[in-house]
Amino acid sequence: MASITLKNVEKWFGQAQVIKGVDLEIEEGEFVIFVGPSGCGKSTLLRMIAGLEETSRGQILVGDRDATAEPPNKRGLAMVFQSYALYPHMSVRDNVGFPLKSAGLPKEEVAEKVAEAARVLKLDDYLDRRPKDLSGGQRQRVAIGRSIVRDPTAFLFDEPLSNLDAALRVEMRYEIAKLHQTLKATMIYVTHDQVEAMTLADRIVVLEFGKIAQVGTPRELYEKPANLFVAQFIGSPR
Ligand code: ADP
Ligand code: MG
């Protein structure tokens, strides 16, 4: 696992500046959540870290390595998408092993890696099932399994639970918390849901119009909000 450092990071789309001088150090194994209202730049910042969006100015370090100009596949980070993007016609085993098989790894090695991921994610009993025969939580674990086999140094999530109903969201929140405990992985997680942020994060980054309004533990933000914007955002349920 690796730390991730943002140094005075900026993003422009044409004339519009959507990320403004963001400085942030994310520690190895930390669970950091980006929150803020729609359009404040959460996804853009996450996509810049993933390498899916070019960084206009500033630096992104993965561990000690300057990754600012690296393509996504060289960064060693795993982006977990909200739609899971599982192949419906493939078993869990084949879904999890797919990235390694496509990369041309020998069968035995693929099988070994899949078995290891299944053990970590408690998917052993589901390896022969199709995605449609899994719960939402299990599907999310399969999607994560597909990232784990590539030994990422960090996981990036963009609103992974936003399309789920309330009950499933609670279940998944618990699953993700457990996963973080098991993997002890660096995780960066975007949400506009205060409850998710307060319950999952080691630290919360509150974004306001592309700038960091405040960074702190859930408790720090709740007890000592830096300004009214943070107070309103953290304090009041939607
Ligand atoms: P959030 O995820 O917090 O809702 P986004 O990062 O998606 O916000 O968007 C931040 C701002 O950048 C918004 O004003 C959005 O319209 C703008 N934006 C995002 N992607 C693009 C793009 N590809 N081209 C131009 N503007 C964009
Ligand atoms: Mg977004």
Q: What is the pLDDT of residues 163-220, one digit of tens each?
A: 778 888 888 888 889 889 988 899 999 998 888 999 999 999 999 999 999 999 999 9
Whole-prediction pTM value? Answer: 0.90
**Predicted local distance difference test score (pLDDT) of residue 83:** 63
Q: What ipTM score was computed for the predicted complex, to two decimals?
A: 0.98
Q: In the 8-state DSSP scheme, what is residue 81?
A: P
Cβ–ligand 1 contact at 41 (below 6 Å):
yes
Q: In what order do the strands lie in the sheet with 65-66?
A: 16-26, 4-13, 57-62, 65-66
Judge residue 9's burial from the number of C-beta atoms within 10 Å of its C-beta, 0-12 exposed, 13-18 middle, 19 or more buried.
buried
pLDDT at 238 over 50: no
* Inter-axis angle of helices 136-148 and 92-102, nearest 10: 20
Cβ–ligand 1 contact at 42 (below 6 Å):
yes
* Inter-axis angle of helices 107-121 and 136-148, nearest 10: 130
User: Which residue among 18, 34, 205 has the greatest number of ligand 1 atoms within 8 angstroms of its CB, and so is best to mutate?
Assistant: 18
Type of residue numbered 128: D
State which ligand 1 atom lies nearest to the alpha carbon of 34.
3
Those residues whose C-beta lies under 8 Å from the C-beta of residue 121, and which sit 6 or more positions away, are: 141, 142, 144, 145, 148, 179
Type of residue numbered 167: A
Nearest residue by C-alpha to atom 20 in ligand 1:
44
Q: What is the pLDDT of residues 96-122, one digit of tens each?
A: 999 899 989 999 999 999 999 998 888
Indicate the pLDDT class of residue 135, thresholds 50, 70 and 90: confident
Cβ–ligand 1 contact at 38 (below 6 Å):
yes
8 Å CB contact between 160 and 128: no
Nearest residue by C-alpha to atom 25 in ligand 1:
13
